[in-house]
């Protein structure tokens, strides 16, 4: 089988699920200004928990990049991502104070627990670099695509939520996601058939978990 440009092929192949994750009703309600602020606050508290778990996950990808990648720029891209999480955690704390969300009392919802457990499973040393960097790309890209919809010209995003949308929806974060995509495509070109299947399954699992996370934020599940 041809192995170049795997990501574009997978996105096309699984377009329905991909679109469910990147144009979820939660995001569309921000975009059209109808969002219920209690949903936003629920998302904020839950995502803070998620991001705290995302830090060691990203660090584990960085570790694998430094050991396995034949291109030293991989490590630099992933390090940039890791470094920006420090700023992100500060932003969550500030934002939570603004919205009166007491972060110390937040309890992880079921969908969030599932997602965090999935991240933990990806941190195991035996998981291949190609597989985990695919997960990193997918996790970041779902947020990038989703929040970029809230910044489109005809969007009616409430001004209070613009900062959150810019954090992930802006061009700078888009550039970062494209760098990750190049890394993943290059890695998958050299991957075994077995690794390729594992990476695709991981991509699909991320999409499902992201959809469940949005559902939870809206108040379902
Ligand atoms: C649930 N997915 C979730 N939270 C995030 N902050 C991101 C992706 C992107 O970092």
**15-46 pLDDT, tens per residue?**
999 999 999 999 999 999 999 999 999 999 99
Q: What is the percent of the chain where pLDDT is above 90?
A: 93
Catalytically active residues, by annotation: 210
Residue 68: the pLDDT is 83
Predicted model pTM: 0.97
**51 ligand 1 Cβ < 6 A:** yes
Instruction: Identify the CA nearest to 48 among candidates 123, 122, 124, 99.
Output: 99
Contacts of 159 by beta carbon, 8 Å cutoff, 6+ apart: none
Check pLDDT > 90 for residue 72: no
> Quick one: tokens of 210?
């992201």
CA–CA separation, 128 vs 133, rounded Å? 9
DSSP 158: -
CB of 53 closer than 8 Å to CB of 116? yes
How confident is the prediction for the chain on average, in pLDDT? 95
**50 ligand 1 Cβ < 6 A:** yes
**95 ligand 1 Cβ < 6 A:** no
Residue 76: the pLDDT is 94
CB of 51 closer than 8 Å to CB of 92? yes
């Amino acid at each position: 089988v041809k192995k170049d440009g795997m990501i574009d092929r997978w996105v096309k192949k699984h377009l329905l699920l991909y679109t469910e994750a990147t144009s979820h009703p939660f995001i569309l309600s921000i975009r059209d200004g109808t969002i219920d602020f209690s949903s936003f606050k629920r998302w904020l508290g839950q995502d803070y928990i998620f991001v705290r778990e995302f830090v060691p996950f990203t660090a584990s990808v960085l570790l694998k990049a430094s050991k396995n990648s034949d291109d030293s720029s991989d490590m630099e891209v992933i390090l940039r991502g890791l470094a920006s999480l420090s700023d992100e955690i500060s932003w969550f704390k500030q934002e939570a104070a603004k919205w009166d969300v007491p972060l110390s009392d937040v309890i992880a919802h079921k969908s969030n627990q599932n997602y965090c457990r999935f991240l933990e499973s990806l941190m195991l040393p035996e998981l291949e670099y190609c597989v985990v960097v695919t997960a990193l790309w997918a996790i970041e890209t779902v947020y990038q695509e989703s929040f970029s919809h809230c910044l489109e010209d005809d969007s009616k995003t409430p001004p209070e939520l613009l900062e959150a949308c810019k954090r992930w929806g802006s061009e700078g974060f888009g550039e970062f996601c494209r760098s990750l995509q190049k890394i993943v495509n290059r890695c998958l070109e050299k991957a075994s058939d077995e690794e390729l299947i594992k990476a695709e399954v991981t991509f699909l699992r991320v999409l499902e978990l992201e959809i469940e996370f949005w559902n939870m934020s809206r108040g379902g599940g």
